[in-house]
């Protein structure tokens, strides 16, 4: 049994106005993994949730997505993209996002990012992203592909303590 808290809240943001992005910076390397939990929507249209780590906007990311809506199943794979691709949401509903950054402080391996989409009005989907860098993650930016986050959107960053 682990002593103390396993999930340690490192930072939390509730937007008091619309915003183009949310950034967590100066992330401590003292944990085994990171988890971001968010409830968000956008001001208009529909958009994907994107992320970048350490301000890296080069083509160092890739992802695979599997999705089903009860009648159709699809999969998509992309490599050499400039963002971490996470989820799609429309402005008419709140999307709940849980993102796991595995071994984020390790400096000898590429970083794996797992994500599960929880958007009851659309589909169920799972993503696996890869950031092809051995650098430790010390900053994370989340942003919609179009539009802006609505006021009231919440974002919490957790560190997973070693057992």
Report if residue 66 sits inside a domain: yes
The enclosing domain of 53 has a CATH number of: 2.60.120
The pLDDT of residue 93: 74
Residue 118 pLDDT more than 90? no
Q: Is residue 35 part of a domain?
A: yes
Range of the domain at 122: 7-160
The Cα 15–Cα 82 span in angstroms is 26
Domain-located, residue 112:
yes
Give the global pTM: 0.90
> Is 2 inside a domain boundary?
no
At residue 13, φ and ψ (nearest 5 deg) are -135, 130
Q: In what order do the strands lie in the sheet with 111-119?
A: 7-14, 154-160, 33-40, 95-102, 111-119, 123-131, 61-68, 73-81
Count of domains for the chain: 1
pLDDT of residue 163: 60
Would you say residue 96 lies in a domain? yes
pLDDT tens-digit series, residues 37-81: 999 888 888 888 899 999 999 999 999 999 887 888 999 999 999
Cα dihedral 85, 45, 17, 20, rounded to 10, equals 40
């Amino acid at each position: 049994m682990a002593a103390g808290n396993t999930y340690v809240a490192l930072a939390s943001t509730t937007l008091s106005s619309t915003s183009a992005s949310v950034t967590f910076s100066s992330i401590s390397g003292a944990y085994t993994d990171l988890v971001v939990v968010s409830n968000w929507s956008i001001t208009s249209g529909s958009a994907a949730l994107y992320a970048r780590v350490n301000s890296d906007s080069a083509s160092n990311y890739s992802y695979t997505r599997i999705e089903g809506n009860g009648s159709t199943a699809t999969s998509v794979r992309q490599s050499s993209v400039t963002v971490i691709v996470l989820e799609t949401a429309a402005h008419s509903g709140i999307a709940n996002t849980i993102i796991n950054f595995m071994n984020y402080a390790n400096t000898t391996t590429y970083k794996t990012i797992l994500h599960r989409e929880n958007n009851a009005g659309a589909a169920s989907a799972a993503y696996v992203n890869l950031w092809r860098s051995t650098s430790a993650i010390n900053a994370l930016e989340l942003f919609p592909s179009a539009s802006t986050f609505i006021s009231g959107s919440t974002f919490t960053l957790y560190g997973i303590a070693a057992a």
